[in-house]
Amino acid sequence: MIVLGIETSCDETATAIVTSDRRILADVILSQTDDHRPFGGVVPEIAARAHLQHIERLTTQAMDEAGLRFDQLDAVAATCGPGLIGGVMVGATFGKAVAFAANKPFLAINHLEGHALAARLSDDVAFPYLLLLASGGHCQLLAVEGVGHYKRLGTTIDDAAGEGFDKVAKMAGLPYPGGPAVEAAARTGDPARFALPRPMKGRPDCDFSFSGLKNAVRLVVETLPKPLSGCDVADLCASFQAAVADMVADRTKRAIRAFPAAKTLVAAGGVAANQTLRATLTQVAAENGLAFAAPPGRLCTDNAAMIAWAGVERFRLGLTDGLDFAPRPRWPLAGGN
């Protein structure tokens, strides 16, 4: 089975071709980081126009790299939400057009399900498993029982972890995107220098909160001489990263107890590419008798290979969609908004 995947939910224009035996025949990603860096974040209208400009060329490039014609595809999968609706509409409409022209089934993919199933592409993880999904827009703990069967155990009550990394980077004078910049600066920092809070730690539920931690970083920055020294920036980033790792570890331990059927702890989403967080979760998994899996960094950040793979998973269960499927800016993977 061969599926074309298309991803345009934020600021990466991506196309990929994946087979049902887990081969990635093509994986093309065009980052818009340089377009958005002057604004310190993603500008939705700029993102949508860039998707529209590049999606056809990138899809042709992917097909050429795979050495395939469109009539050799089995299905076309495209992200149809959640995300920046202008970008989502570009990818969804283009995917429908390819499916119609090639007379192939269309699969409307939830972007979060792409992340949720990515470890099955990279590591062949068996159901059921516990998933930490952490990205710029989401932070959730999910019981993954099968394709389309997800139970949310905990979520952020305010901001997402990735959004926290971006804001801390901005406060520290680091470039966008903030996640890699904070991680790089933290490598030479002292994680114990600044006593930052661990919101929600010790609570009996599995929810997260990051707004208070961001505010604590802001208050620290206000007390430091300006401009911040390299040492101040490194220590601030290391302290913030350590606080996030502690919070995530505590919340994940709660979720492990809430979902004893899980045999594997999986981390996915852009924040899951953070090596400190991966090391912390590896330890949490080992201490609780679980295996740990996380896709390689390229499959953690937004990409079309995970969308194509989610398409494979859904297509072999007969879960196709009509060309009238409406893109969704909000599309919960499991219960709630």
Instruction: Return per-residue pLDDT of the chain as tens, 337 residues.
Output: 999 999 999 999 999 999 999 999 999 999 888 888 888 888 999 999 999 999 999 999 999 999 999 999 999 999 999 999 999 999 999 999 999 999 999 999 999 999 999 999 999 999 999 999 998 888 999 999 999 999 999 999 999 999 999 999 999 999 988 999 999 999 999 999 999 999 999 999 999 999 999 999 999 999 999 999 999 999 999 999 999 999 999 999 999 999 999 999 999 999 999 999 999 999 999 999 999 999 999 999 999 999 999 999 999 999 999 999 999 999 999 854 4
Q: Which domain holds residue 196?
A: 126-294
Burial per residue of 203-242, b for 16 or more beta-carbon CB atoms within 10 angstroms, e otherwise: eeebbbbbeebbebbeebbeeeeeebeeebbbbbbbbbbb
One domain for residues 135 and 284: yes
The DSSP H or E segment spanning 146 is strand 139-146
Domain count, the chain: 2
CB 86 within 8 A of CB 92: no
One domain for residues 170 and 286: yes
CATH number at residue 173: 3.30.420.40
One domain for residues 15 and 109: yes
Q: State whether residue 269 is helix, strand or coil.
A: coil
Q: Which segments within 51-110 are labelled E, that is strand? A: 75-81, 106-110
One domain for residues 91 and 216: no
CB 308 within 8 A of CB 77: yes
CB 152 within 8 A of CB 141: yes
Claim: this prediction has a pTM higher than 0.75: yes
DSSP letter at 321? B
